[in-house]
Amino acid sequence: MTQGPDAPHRAAAPAQAIGDAPQGEPTRSATHIRSFVTRRGHISAAQERALREVLPRVRLAYAAHPLDLVAAFGRSAPTVLEIGFGMGETTAAIAHRRPDVNFLAIDVFAAGCGALAKRIDEMALSNLRVMQHDAVEIVRDMLMPDLLAGVHIYFPDPWPKARHHKRRLVAPPFVALLASRIAPGGYLHCATDWQHYAEQMLAVLSAEALLENLHESYAPAPRNPLAERPTTKFHARGTRLGHGVWDLVFKRKG
């Protein structure tokens, strides 16, 4: 399976030894098809140490009630949600560049959570929190309408086989839910390195009544007039190999 610029977790999910997600099982966990499958994979010693020593300081637990962002971050600031941060390179870079914004990062895989926790510690990031749980349940149960300044979905699992397309995260029911959580004027920025998924994303996002495309179709990658996606080493390698990348930037209507 072709990998995206910041999606090494798509090929090898972590072992279940340390904090494998999802954490807990809410009573409504069977109401949607999950966009991920927990598999075993390698966790480095550094990631394992960060899971033990750093992640508890920056992790927010899932709970089936609204999240108090001021309490979670210790301040009131615009909040951007990222779903599926891989190994956290892009997430940490954006958070470092925008200290005035709070970033809530969600992923289910332990290796990625350990890698991001390690970056948070090394870069002394105080504006980034991590949730290791199913993003659909977090958005549905914990985020109130009109709450978010923006949402990033960068290189989600493309589920390339036709019989697995139902597992794709960017699909009408979830996009409708997600759009309702974005404040008027806020944005949704998606990116993928699979052309078929890009075409589906464009169709799904264009059909959502609460969203409007800021471009005629795809955005000039990786530029976003509201939040720029940095080019990672994985993206740069893919570009050298001739792999395509498609960005889409939509705005929540007022």
Q: pLDDT tens, 53-63?
A: 999 999 999 99
Do residues 169 and 35 touch, judged by C-beta distance below 8 A? yes
DSSP state of 114: H
Please give the pLDDT value at position 241: 72
CA distance 197 to 159: 9
Do residues 78 and 104 touch, judged by C-beta distance below 8 A? no
Can you point out the beta strands (E) in the chain? 79-83, 102-106, 128-131, 148-154, 182-192, 211-213, 246-252
Please give the pLDDT value at position 64: 95
Please give the pLDDT value at position 42: 81
Peptide bond into 22 cis (omega under 30): yes
Q: What are phi and psi of 211, to 5 degrees?
A: -115, 150
Considering the candidates 107, 157, 193, 247, report the single residue annotated as catalytic: 157
Instruction: Say what the pTM is.
Output: 0.84
Please give the pLDDT value at position 33: 63
Q: What are phi and psi of 161, to 5 degrees?
A: -70, 140
Tens-place pLDDT, residues 83-137: 999 999 999 999 999 999 999 999 999 999 999 999 999 999 999 999 999 999 9
Radius of gyration of the chain (CA): 17
CA distance 220 to 90: 18
157 a catalytic residue: yes
Please give the pLDDT value at position 159: 77
Please give the pLDDT value at position 233: 67
Do residues 210 and 245 touch, judged by C-beta distance below 8 A? no
Please give the pLDDT value at position 210: 98
Q: Are strands 102-106 and 128-131 parallel, antiparallel or unpaired?
A: parallel
Residues of the chain below pLDDT 50: 1-30
